[in-house]
Amino acid sequence: MTLAIRPARQFDLPLIAELIRALAEYEKLAHEVRFDEAELGRHLFGPHPMAEVVIGELDGAAQGFALFFHSFSTFEGRPGIYLEDLFVRPAARGAGLGKALLAHLAALTVERGCARLEWSVLDWNAPAIGLYQSLGARFMDDWTVMRVDGEALARMATPGR
């Protein structure tokens, strides 16, 4: 079995969209998928990309992906990489592709002079948590993720509204 990780190209956009939807199904969040594929493409492959994607292949067939972007640590004074999504199709799990995608991102983090690689994981996803911990990842127990979106974001953006 041959594992390969490659940067996504514009022609991969339908594949990326398919993998995002498969991830959402796995996470029981399909009802939250609202992206427009053309807009996603502009943000990934346009003149000012906001994120990057790598495709994981087993024997030449795309079986997973990782979508990531740069963050910044004021304490470190250096950028980091934030892994937004990592997904391997269920039939391809156990072949080492998830670990290979993470290793690829770790190498990019080091190569780019970044201070850290970070991500979030759903608390019920025991297989992923086990994998991450086996690779040396640790929980950030003192931190809680906060989010503002939708109408709350609109209100926040318009004080006094």
Of 134, 52, 41, 43, which is closest to residue 85 (Cα–Cα)?
52
| DSSP bridge pairs for 117 | 81
Residue 132 annotated among the catalytic residues of the structure: yes
Give the SS3 label for residue 73.
strand
Pairing of strands 117-119, 78-88: parallel
Give the SS3 label for residue 4.
strand
DSSP 8-state class, residue 31: G
Q: Which of 132, 135, 144, 157 is catalytic?
A: 132
What residues are labeled active site?
132
